[in-house]
Structure formats: structure tokens, C-alpha cells
Structure 1
């Protein structure tokens, strides 16, 4: 039996869809497989796409002969607890940093490369095997959503042409129209809004001083962030300000094609002034393109204080 699983902290849509669709492909190829995870699902998986868990099983007995395939994770320190490292036989991932670790153990069965979504890698298994026509509509829809989520609707700098081609083929197979991405992200936003405080705290990173960014940095991906700011800004400021004024929130607004940066006190604003040309109005910056936290972190780490000329 092959157990297809992912990381320990949570499952996003990329991991969730990839595990389910890859297990389906393995079974179709005559290799008995089950998609299984003990991690909670995050807000990128809206309720309509998690009903009945769509083929994802809760952890249970796997048998002494079971082997493991990892999807959307390669950090061997953060695997689902059900995984036995010695019995991992394949890795499908797009996060850098552990290529050498797995290449030594698995050789070509460690598929770790720069691409927008692990779902694209899973799609390519289906395509290259000639079995794409037999993929279930559910799996095609899930893989399409995983690509949308991980590439920020094709606006992220990690997005590749392979991701675009995979999404187009999956959308055709699943019968998704051009408005479907907006509906998907709107469903995710409703789920976030329903538990906004938990969503903010769940994706809150505590940064080191050398980041040159506010100490606490939260991020949410939405379809229309302007509406959320208008209606819920006091709650956001209360939640993120409970440790003081040194905080920052990046609201990625995909439907508007921009990011809103909401910061705490004067010190937080000054840190952003050093990195960005866009100035704040009432503590809020509006960038004319979506930006990821990791991109802002790169800017912060690269910043150097000007020399003292006195």
C-alpha cells in the first residue's frame, strides 16, 4: 500500500489536491494507494471543496508493508507524524532547500523543482501517462484550485508557463469557466472572514531584528481586500496590536490585482518607508500589484543603513 501524504502543520489546497489526485492516479495505474493526513486544512480549501474530504482519509493503521509518497513537502523535519522516513519512496515538491537530502536517498524519484505548484507536477504525471481523460472531475477541479492558490492567480513570481498550461488543461477537463477563479477565491475569503481572528493568528510570523521589517508580520490572500478593510479594520488592529505597535499585515487582493500593507505604529511605518516608494495614508499602503511576504522579507534582508557621514 502506498500512503500519499504531506506536511505536519496544515494542508493548503496545493497539498490537499496533490495528495488526492496522485493517489487516484496510482490506483488507476494498478498501485494501491490512499491519500491520508493528520494535519488540519487551512482557509485555501473552502467548504464546497472539502465536503466528504474528497478522498482524503484521517490517519489510521497503515501496515508494516506500507510506503510513503510526499507531496508539497520536502523538509524531512516537518512531515506528517504518520510518515516513517526510511519508507519514503517518492517526493513531489517545489520548495527549495532539501534537494540534496532526497537526491541521495531517492535519485530521480525526488522531483523537487522550481515551479508554481506541486499540483502542476501531479498533473504532469497524469498527462505523461496518457491517462488524463480518465481523471475524475473532482480531482481536476482540486488540482486547478491548487494551481490558482499557489500562484496567486498567476501573479506570483514563482509562476511558470507549465503552471499556466496545466491549469488550462485541467479547467477544460473539469468544465471550469473563466469566472471560476473569482468564485473560488471569494469562497476562500468568506471562510477567512468567518473566523478572521484565527486566520490572522494562524499566518502570523515572528521575524528577527535583521529582517528590517516589523516584528510580527501577518498575511492573508483574499479576492477583495478593500471590502474587508472597510468593514473589519478595527478588529484587525486589535488582534495584531495585542503585543504592541510593531506589526504589519499584507492583504493580497487578487481581484483588484494589488496588495494592501497595514502597519502598526510609527516605527513600523518608518521601516516600510525605507523599503518602498509607496507612502502610507492613515497607516495603509496600496501597492499596484500583489506582493508576497517572502518578497518583502528579501527586500528587508537586503537593506543596508546608509553610512554615517558625520
Structure 2
């Protein structure tokens, strides 16, 4: 989720018009994912992986492992976050986090944003695996609609050190942009800078999901993952969706990127609406039907020595 000032955001969007995808053969760690017979995707890791964090979003939970934000979005004139929006619900037979949008007026939408109190960063010769199972869906009255039928939704699953952003980095695992009737877009991205508020990467680290990614596949549920490791002081970040590698990042992936300066990251889930750049998301075209929602049925973090 690009936390930029207006100038930087506009520049980033211009630079982001050109991006490339990396579709690399999955590694051995992919064997840790189990697709259940009831068509849901869950992440289970055996030794030497050790679980560090888990959130199952049990219905009735007060989300005590998270901070629910109440503020305007940094990237949009049209979206305000309310702490009352993130709730736990039964959805598709699962206990889920639900973040839903509500139209308040012609140019104002209510949505939700949660940040984990847990933070993590790999020590030398360790690797962390962050996973979340997410479904994006809309409703038109009592009728379900595909996320791809909407315009102007901007859901995200990411990790970041918010203090002195972006000097301690940001890793975007999922950023979805709905542009109906044109094709929706799904990407990963990295942000970093050496001074507060100044992202030096633009969108040069943005990578599109594979062309065959189908947001409606597997009943809309997908496994999104970030593998963040340091081996002999060399840092690598790998982003995967449904066990397919979307991008592998090192310091050479973008000019000015320095993963070694990244700090401990929190985990973030949010649903933005619109943008501060009307050439990117036209506020007059926003259509989220009655609501557009992000459902998350679990988030886990595992760690292993390498």
C-alpha cells in the first residue's frame, strides 16, 4: 500500500505504468501448502519451521492482536478508515476477518485498516514465511458480485515499519486495483528511502501477478505469501500467490533498494477506495455496489534457520 505524499504518489503512478512479471519455478518450501478437499487453502508448515504468530479471526474476537485504525487514507481523498469496520464473521463456512466498504456520500467511503501488534524481521541465516488466505468479493443488495465487476477498490495485504516511512521499508504482497469494465490488476511491490516521506524506488519494484491469475478461481480464496530471508547477510524477498512465484527481490532488483536497512515489520490488511490521482482511479467512475469486501480466514508467520 503506497503511503506517499501527493507528489510522490503521482510520480510513482507514472513510473508504475511499466512493470514486469517474474514467473519462477516454485521452490521446495511450496510443498508446505495444503489445499483442502473443501476447496479452501490453508498453510501448514513442518519442522524446521516454527510458528511465530497466528490469527484465526474467531467470531467474537476483539482483534486484540491488532490495532484498528481511525483516520483518512494517505493515498485517497475518498476513503476514511473507521475502527468499527474490521469485524469477525462467518463467511463461506469459515471464521473470517471482514473489512467492508460503505458509501457515505458521493465522494466519501468508509472502510477498514488493521495493523498487527506483532512485528518481525529475519536475523542473519533465518527466513520468515508470512501467509494469509484472502477472498475479495462485492455485494449488490443480496446478490454477490465479482471483485472484477467493481471500479475503484484498492485492497492490500502488506508489511511495513510505519515509523519514519519509508526508511525501514515496505513489502506489498497483494495490491488489487478494480477497473471494471476493464481488467482488474494485481501486483506486488517494494518501497524504500533514506529520508522520511521520500520513496526512492517509485514503482520500479512493482511486479504484476501472472497473466493467468484468476481472482474468482478456488471460489475466490487465494493463498498470498511473503518469504523474507537473510542468508550470509544477503536479503531476498519472494512473493507467491497460490504457490506460484510472482517476484523475487534482492537489492539489485531496483536502484536505491537496500533490504539490509529494513526494520521490523507489522502486518497490514486494508481496503482503500479511490486515489489522490484521478488519472489513476477516476472518482466519478467508482462503483463498489452495495459493498466491496475483503475476507481473511487466517494469517500466520513461521520462522526457520537456513
TM over 0.5: no
Report the TM-score when normalising by structure 1: 0.25
Report the TM-score when normalising by structure 2: 0.26
Pick the structure with greater CA Rg.
1
